[in-house]
Amino acid sequence: MRGTCVVVFLGFVSSVGACKREADPAPAPAPQAAPQPVLQPAATPITWSDTATRFRAQPGAMLTLLCPPNGAPGTVWGSDTYSDDSSICTAAAHSGRITRAGGGVVQIQITPGQPSYQGTVRAGETTRHFATFPGSFVIVGGPQPGLVAVPVPRINAAGVNIGGVQINVGGGAAAAASPWSTSATSHRGQNGQSFTHECPPGGTLGTVWGTDVYSDDSSICSAAVHAGRVTLAQGGSVTVFVHPGRARYAGSERNGVTTRQFATFPGSFAFTPAVAPAVAGPPGVTAATWTTSATQFRAMPGSRQQVWCPPGGSPGTVWGRGPFTDDSSICTAAVFAGRITLEEGGVVRLRPGPGRSAYRGATRNGVTTRDYAVFPGSFDVSR
C-alpha cells in the first residue's frame, strides 16, 4: 500500500491513512574539547639580593622568577634597563611590577651591557647612576603604566648637582635630600679635613660599603650607626674625616647594619682622623674581593691562576662543591675547600674548566653551597 500507513495496536488494525515520515532526529552535537590552559613557565624562587650576573652569557634569554613577600630592597643601577649586578626583585619593584610587601612573579630578559645607566626614583624605589657595565637586563613588559620616574641628582667632584633633581629618597617626590641618604662624595679630595653632619631621629638606613673606613658614596648616617656613633632611633651629630680612596672595602655586620664589600674606589671617609693602612696582597698576585668570581678566566680553561683574598671577608654565593660554577665567589669557594679562612684570607690557586651539566651543593667549613643545572664555565680550587 503506497502512501498509506497501518498502525497495529495489540494485534488489531487501529487505523489506515496517509503515511507521513517523521524527520530523523538531529544528530547530537560533537562534544566540545575542553579549552587547554595556557601553560606559563614555572617561576624560579629567588631572594631580594639575587642579581642577573650569572645569566650574562645568555643574551636574549627570558627568565620567570618569583620574589618572596616582605623583601629587603637591594641596590639597583639604571632605569628600565638595569645593570645585571642589580637586585632583580628591587628592579621589579622600581618598575611597579611587584611590591616589597607582596613580592610576586617577574619576567626579565638578558640584554647587552650599556655605556651608562641613569638612576631614578619610581614606585618608592631609588636606583643609581653608573657608567659602562658589561651586562644588563630589562623587566619584560616595561614599567607599570602611569608611573613617573624622577631623575636622581648627578653630583660632580665639586659637590654640584649637574643633572637630575634633589629628591627625598623613599618618598618619590621632589624635595630636599634626606640627611640619611647624604654621602661624602662632595668632600672627595679634601683629605685630612673634617666636617660635621647631623642625622635626625627616626632615620631610614641607606647603603654602606666598608668597615671603619667607608667608600665616600656610602650613607654617612648609616655608616655612623654601623660604627656605633649614633642610633637609628635617636640620630645625632657626627664628625666625618675625609680620607683617600682605597683598593678594597670590607663588609661586615655591626649594630644592626650590614655593610658591603667593594673593590677600588676613589674616595673614603671615617669617623676618626687616623685609620689603619689598607692591607695589600703579595706582589704579582691578583687582588680580589669576596665577591670576585672566575668568569674572567672562562676563556683560559686549564690555566693556573692565583688571586689574593683579603682578611675579614664576608662570604659570597657559591654553586657546586668542586668544581664550582665560574660565577661563584672564588674566596668563599676557597673557604669551603679549606684553603683559607674568612678571618685571615690568603692566596688562592685555581684552575678554570669547562662548563658542566650539573653542580651539587654541600656544607663544609661553615659554608653552604647551592645546587645548579647546566652552566657554561667552572673552576676548581687547587693546593
Answer whether residue 224 is part of any domain.
yes
For residue 41, is the peptide bond before it cis, meaning its omega torsion is within 30 degrees of 0? no
pLDDT above 50 for 174: no
pLDDT above 70 for 172: no
301 and 244, same domain (yes or no) = no
CA 131, CA 111: separation in Å to the nearest integer?
A: 16
For residue 311, is the peptide bond before it cis, meaning its omega torsion is within 30 degrees of 0? no
pLDDT above 50 for 68: yes
Answer whether residue 161 is part of any domain.
no
Answer whether residue 28 is part of any domain.
no
Answer whether residue 176 is part of any domain.
no
Answer whether residue 62 is part of any domain.
yes
263 and 305, same domain (yes or no) = no
96 and 63, same domain (yes or no) = yes
- Residue span of the structural domain in which 89 resides: 44-146
Do 251 and 260 touch, CB atoms closer than 8 A? yes
Answer whether residue 213 is part of any domain.
yes
Number of compact structural domains in the chain = 3
Q: Which of 101, 143, 98 has the alpha carbon at shortest distance from 120? A: 143
CA 146, CA 205: separation in Å to the nearest integer?
A: 28
pLDDT above 90 for 285: no
Percent of the chain at pLDDT > 70 equals 83
Q: Which of 141, 57, 137, 76 has the alpha carbon at shortest distance from 104? A: 141
Task: State how far the alpha carbon of 255 is from the alpha carbons of 91, 103, 111, 219, in Å.
Answer: 28, 27, 39, 15
Q: What is the pTM of this model?
A: 0.45
Answer whether residue 334 is part of any domain.
yes
**Per-residue pLDDT tens over the stretch 291-340:** 788 988 998 999 999 999 988 888 889 999 999 999 999 999 999 999 99
331 and 376, same domain (yes or no) = yes
Q: What is the CATH number of the domain that holds 190?
A: 2.170.130.20
User: In the chain, what's the furthest Cα-to-Cα distance?
Assistant: 128
290 and 260, same domain (yes or no) = no
Question: In the listed set 207, 240, 270, which residue is the last one of a domain according to the structure?
Answer: 270
Task: Using the structure block, give the residue that is written with the C-alpha cell 655612623.
Answer: 224
Query: Which helix H or strand E contains 331, and what residues bound it?
Result: helix 330-336
Q: Would you state the pLDDT for residue 8?
A: 43
| CB atoms near residue 294 (< 10 Å) | 27
310 and 375, same domain (yes or no) = yes
CA 235, CA 55: separation in Å to the nearest integer?
A: 41
52 and 134, same domain (yes or no) = yes
298 and 266, same domain (yes or no) = no
| CB atoms near residue 17 (< 10 Å) | 10
Whole-angstrom distance between the N-terminal and C-terminal Cα of the chain?
Answer: 110
117 and 83, same domain (yes or no) = yes
CA 336, CA 360: separation in Å to the nearest integer?
A: 13
Answer whether residue 115 is part of any domain.
yes
Question: In the listed set 118, 146, 174, which residue is the last one of a domain according to the structure?
Answer: 146
Question: In the listed set 270, 298, 323, which residue is the last one of a domain according to the structure?
Answer: 270
